Chain A
Amino acid sequence: MIDVHNITKRYGHHTAIDRVTFSVAKGEVLAFLGPNGAGKTTTMRILTCFMPATEGTARVAGFDCTDQPLEVKRQIGYLPETPPVYQELTVTEYLTFVGQLRGMTGPKLTSALDQSIGRLELGTVRYRLIGNLSRGYRQRVGLAQALLHDPPVLILDEPTVGLDPKQIIEIRELIKSLAGSHSVILSTHILPEATAVCQRVVIINKGRIVAEDTPEQLSARLRQSEKVSLTLRSCPADCETKLRAIPGVLHVLPGQGGGTFLIECELGRDLRDELAHVAVMNQWGLLELRTVSMTLEDVFLQLTRHEDHATETTEATVSLASTDSKNG
């Protein structure tokens, strides 16, 4: 549905994005993660034909963003960083205007309006001036605007900013419900959001894609060892030695609180069976045994904060990313 191939955007000497390549299949939800100024918004602006790329091609639903901007714009619902609302209009007037710009009229417009207002629970404020609404409501009006014409492609720049926790959950549910029928790209700073909503994550830093995969695969890929947390009721002095003796165990680190250990194992080996066996045989009282996976936060920080590490992994992950996108 969305195909971005090697796009580069330069502002004078500053390169905002550098040879970015990715694709989004029909019905897929893709998260764009990255620190401020990483190039998320620039990429989205190129996809929405707000500005052209300096190099490379971007296609949406088969239409080229540079050559067929009107066709592309018809396929897209776009929510920019700041909700694009007119303070002097009421919610209904504003959404009517948006519908008219998209060529909707009569009963079609009315039903789209009602549906969109219902979906985002704007019924109570539909006749109020947008200028008098709170930040959260404006954000929802912005989202209603993007969804109004039921576009096949949705591009949402930080859709949950300014919403309260309850609304955030509702919007996430809404985005999840759109998956399958709509292709969605959303950018976010909130990492659990990406895990909660998206099938695939693109991490972008300083204008380059540093990783692209499912959230689970990403954490797996960057993990250098498997980690297992083990909690025992009683732990005699020799238990650490006995644990270390199990083949495949690399390190045994005492965790917080007595009886908890963080056990690092060789990559690709699941030693939970053996660990349980040893614990039971020695009658240590096995209370808990679980694998510790890397959270997306860890992945994100590892990729974006530690510069040296990031540049090392860049080459590897970019090549992985490009093979992924070819497969996709």
Chain B
Amino acid sequence: MAPVQAVIAKELRVYFVSPIVYVVGAVFLLIFGLLSYLYVGFAGAQAIQLMQMQGGSAQINLNDLVFRNLFASMRIVLLIILPILTMRLFAEERKLRTFEFLLTSPLRVNDIVVGKFISVFVIYLGLVGLTTLVPTVLMLFSDFDWNPIWTGYLGMVLLGALFLSVGLFASAVTENQIVAAFVSFGMLLTIWLIAGLGSLFGDTAAGHLISYVSYMEHYERLVRGLIDTSDLVYFGSGLVLMLFLTHRVVESTRWK
């Protein structure tokens, strides 16, 4: 077993022994379920209204009324929940003095950073996987287009990966888990708000550039069902950048 696999296995084990995954998972799935229920409820109410106005049957678009809203709402849920999942990754190691052990083991810093990221990403994928139950159940009762749902899920996976890498970075800069959670929450919210700053500049080169830095427009396009290379590049490079910064922070503790 390569060292990076050992790190992943150990992280997963620690996650599942501690209550954190169960609590975060339960809250995440509960909110996803509630939101789905609400949007389906709204869609139903709208359908009834349409039927009363037009008479006869009315076609409602579940893609627009349920899934797009659902995916859009998940941004804020991920923003709040994922920092809780990542906050322990490095902060706990520092607090318990196991950080020194990791850095004095024959491991590259890369192995530690990538191993930790993959472990939390696997947990996140598991949680996202469980949410596919909602469209699967809805499929039994109505017709909708699966393609925008797949791109929506792709968006959620990419956005989650980016959020997790920001959380990992925040966890590396402190030994206090609460501080780590707040730092990643703050960073994610700031990057979100940069989108607003971009729109202030309007349709100019600066405006586009600033908006590009925020994950908002990239995620929205995926939720709408558009797969654009520039969005994939954005998420990929953001992820690599955050992992690189985490690597630097971990490495720098040795020089302090």
Contact = CB atoms under 8 A, between A and B. Distances in A.
Contacts, number: 75
A248 interface: no
Interface in B78-110: 96-98, 100-101, 103-108
Interface stretch (B10-18, B138-146, B197-205, B231-239): B10-18
Query: Looking at chain B, what size class is its interface with the partner chain?
Result: 20 to 34
A49 interface: yes
A70 interface: yes
Nearest to B10: A97
Given A93-B10, A102-B105, 9 more contacts: A50-B103, A50-B104, A86-B98, A88-B18, A93-B13, A97-B6, A97-B10, A101-B6, A129-B17
Contacts of B97: 80-82, 84
B1 interface: yes
Contact of A84 (B5, B101, B107): B101
A88 B13 contact: yes
22 contacts: A50-B104, A51-B256, A52-B254, A52-B255, A70-B106, A73-B105, A74-B106, A78-B101, A80-B101, A82-B97, A84-B97, A84-B101, A88-B14, A88-B17, A88-B18, A97-B9, A100-B1, A100-B3, A100-B9, A101-B6, A102-B105, A145-B101
Contacts of B104: 48-50, 73, 76, 78, 80
Q: Majority SS of interface residues in chain B?
A: helix
Contacts of B96: 82, 84-87
B243 to A, nearest CB: 20
A89 interface: yes
A310 to B, nearest CB: 30
Which 9 A-B residue pairings sit nearest by Cβ, starting from the closest?
A: A84-B101, A100-B6, A88-B17, A82-B97, A73-B106, A48-B104, A84-B98, A88-B14, A101-B105
A48 to B, nearest CB: 4
Contacts of B254: 50-52
Nearest to B98: A84
Contacts of A73: 104-107
A89 B13 contact: yes
B98 A103 contact: no
A319 interface: no
A48 B103 CA distance: 9
A89 B3 contact: no
**Interface core residue of A11, A81, A97, A145 (most chain B CB under 10 Å):** A97
Contacts of B106: 70, 73-74, 101-103
